[in-house]
Structure 1
Amino acid sequence: MSVPSIFIGCAGWSLPREYWPSFPKQGTHLQRYAHHLNGVEINSSFYRPHQRQTYARWAESVADGFRFCVKMPKSISHERRLRDCEPELDAFLEQCSGLGDRLGCLLLQLPPSLVFDESLAEAFFIALRQRYSGAVVLEPRHESWAAAELLLMAYRIAQAVVDPSRISTDAAPHGWPNVRYWRLHGSPRIYYSPYGSAYLKTLAGDLRVAAVDGVDTWCILDNTASGAAIGNALELRRILAHG
């Protein structure tokens, strides 16, 4: 990669058969994936816990420069809805600590129905920051979170850039500026549509600008349902590598 602080990857490391020729034949899916891409978003942690030793095994199977982003459990975001979830936080953070220094950031995706409540959000961010000092990325999906900018800055929480955009503040970076995170779901058909070369070239320019001061910059392709994410990630990596 031409810019070391840009992490390119997908939501998960499954490799569609059509892309197998682009990856090594030997190794686990993760090892083969990590041969060409330097970041991944673990989404399965949203649905179920993984043991600490599982995370440690994943970390041991990738190179030093590879980073994982781990999605926080739905028990925190969707069931507890950020309220009184310290036990869930403790369990999750203990588990994903198995990644060691390959843990790049945590992703907190909120349900579309969760309205911004400053006191509730601040209480959650305090509990989180008492336990974890690393990078955190928020993907809010209710328009009321447009009012959260100062709170995000205070607790060093970055807001994801999202496509397709869902609220007025997710089409460009917001929140804490020392992490930038693009989360691209596919457009016009969410989770399916591939992104064209023109879009990816513009995106590459945006990523370079975001990373110019050494800020860790992520781009995760979540258009995985038809396998488009891997192809888009590989093309984006080539564009970045060749200027």
Structure 2
Amino acid sequence: MYYIGISGWNYDDFNGIFYPDDLKERDRLEFYTQKFNAVEINASFYRIFKKVVFENWYKRTPEDFVFTAKLNRQFTHKGGLKYDENLCEWFFDAISGLKEKLKVILIQLPPRLKFNKNEFLKFIKRIVKYTDKKFAIEPRNESWFKKEVYSILKDYNIALCLANTGGRYPEVCKKTADFSYTRLHGPKELYASQYSLSQLKEYKKKIDELKCKENYIFFDNTAYGYAVKNAFQFQKLVKNVAY
């Protein structure tokens, strides 16, 4: 099964390209769900919304629609992998408002953060206790791309994110879980460049070779509506494939 979407839905750049010019901002989510079966909540990285916000999104989306959400940056970008009991309770209680529609929580790491086995294991063992959702991880430091890390990810069924950043950060396609997670940020300029059809076909091939039952693909090249066009193109590539 392919879950294809965009890293967020509330973008003014999509007006006139994806959203009708007369569509009100409050109606964007409903319109989005008519075109895509999944969305990645990128905003949860920057702020922790109240539970009622997630509950509202749950109510406004179809039964078969799915969400993924980025772990808040206070866990990862404020001085290493940070475990704080109050922060965990706050964040995981809030996103529980999405109920069964929330499928994956993405852990994005900063480029400066190097792999430390003890710290990583301690962090993972603690946060997995707060939820039954799956995790994916997007490291951006070369020290994470080695067998030792892959082994730990497999033990906890954490998907190594296949992330394209136009060469800015490492890009590795490796199966470490029973699902795959792909983020496409832009082939040249981050967030502001468009993938060619041949590039999209290559990513589909890589994902297919992982042989996962569930595959999450999100486009983060949101400037100028590039993500919308590329997501539609990717939909067509998998439309006639039975999963």
| Partners of 2:18 and 2:225 within 8 A in 1 | no
| Partner of residue 186, structure 2 | 186
Give the CA deviation at 1:130: 1.6
What secondary structure is seen at the aligned counterpart in 2 of 1:79? coil
| Partners of 1:8 and 1:218 within 8 A in 2 | yes
What secondary structure is seen at the aligned counterpart in 2 of 1:220? strand
1:132 aligns with 2:128: no
| Partner of residue 173, structure 1 | 174
Distance 1:112 1:118 in 2: 17
Q: Deviations over 1:184-225 (max 9, x none)?
A: 000111111111111223333444444x55x21011000012
Give the CA deviation at 1:52: 0.7
1:6 aligns with 2:19: no
| Partners of 1:135 and 1:179 within 8 A in 2 | no
| Partners of 1:23 and 1:36 within 8 A in 2 | no
| Partners of 2:74 and 2:82 within 8 A in 1 | no
Cα distance change, pair 196–85 in 1 and its aligned pair in 2 (3 A): same
Distance 2:22 2:160 in 1: 35
TM-score, normalization by structure 2: 0.88
| Partner of residue 73, structure 1 | 72
Cα distance change, pair 126–166 in 1 and its aligned pair in 2 (3 A): farther
113-122 or 75-84, which deviates more: 75-84
Distance 1:133 1:24 in 2: 40
60-69 or 29-38, which deviates more: 60-69
Q: Deviations over 1:111-135 (max 9, x none)?
A: 1111111000000110012222221
Cα distance change, pair 95–172 in 1 and its aligned pair in 2 (3 A): same
Unaligned ranges ≥5, structure 2? none
Distance 2:22 2:60 in 1: 14
Distance 1:53 1:149 in 2: 36
Distance 1:91 1:156 in 2: 24
1:233 aligns with 2:231: yes
19-28 or 46-55, which deviates more: 19-28
Cα distance change, pair 120–198 in 1 and its aligned pair in 2 (3 A): same
Give the CA deviation at 1:22: 7.9
Q: Deviations over 1:20-39 (max 9, x none)?
A: 47899687101101101011
Distance 2:3 2:164 in 1: 17
| Partner of residue 85, structure 1 | 84
Distance 2:9 2:22 in 1: 14
Cα distance change, pair 133–24 in 1 and its aligned pair in 2 (3 A): farther
Q: Deviations over 1:122-165 (max 9, x none)?
A: 00110012222221000011111124111111222111001135
RMSD: 2.2
- Aligned pair count? 235
List aligned pairs for 1:94-243, cutoff 5 A: 94-147=93-146, 148-164=149-165, 165=167, 170-175=171-176, 177-210=177-210, 215-242=213-240
Kindly report structure 1 stretches of 4+ aligned residues shifted beyond 4 Å.
21-27, 165-168
